[in-house]
Amino acid sequence: MPDEEVRQKYPCRKCLLREMDQNAYMESLYSYIARLESGIRADETIYEKRLAVCKSCNYLNEGLCGACGCFVELRAVIAKNVCPYQKW
């Protein structure tokens, strides 16, 4: 497979976010979440409740917490994580 075809099919793991197209980045993000071991992941119900809290929060901006800078979907999916503002 030529290099260009590989680059189009798989996101670059050594690229900065600004160097990746948004679709490739989102695919990479959700692929990472899907690969998390069950012992690390929050229960689906808890995950969805956390995301609902984040969706109603004024700090949410394009998937990022404007207060702490985290990707809310990544913070919410890890069972041991907490909201730095004690919202969940």
**pLDDT tens digits along 7-63:** 455 556 666 666 767 777 788 888 899 999 999 999 999 999 999 999 999 999 988
Q: What are the CB-based long-range contacts (under 8 Å, 24+) for 26-34?
A: 29/71, 29/73, 29/74, 32/74, 33/73, 33/74, 33/77
Residues 3 and 25 occupy one common structural domain: yes
Residues 28 and 50 occupy one common structural domain: no
- Which two three-digit tokens encode residue 55? 């969706």
Residue 79 has pLDDT above 80, yes or no: yes
Residues 44 and 25 occupy one common structural domain: no
User: Which pLDDT does position 12 carry in this prediction?
Assistant: 61
Residues 46 and 76 occupy one common structural domain: yes
Domain count, the chain: 2
Residues 62 and 81 occupy one common structural domain: yes
Q: What is the pTM of this model?
A: 0.73
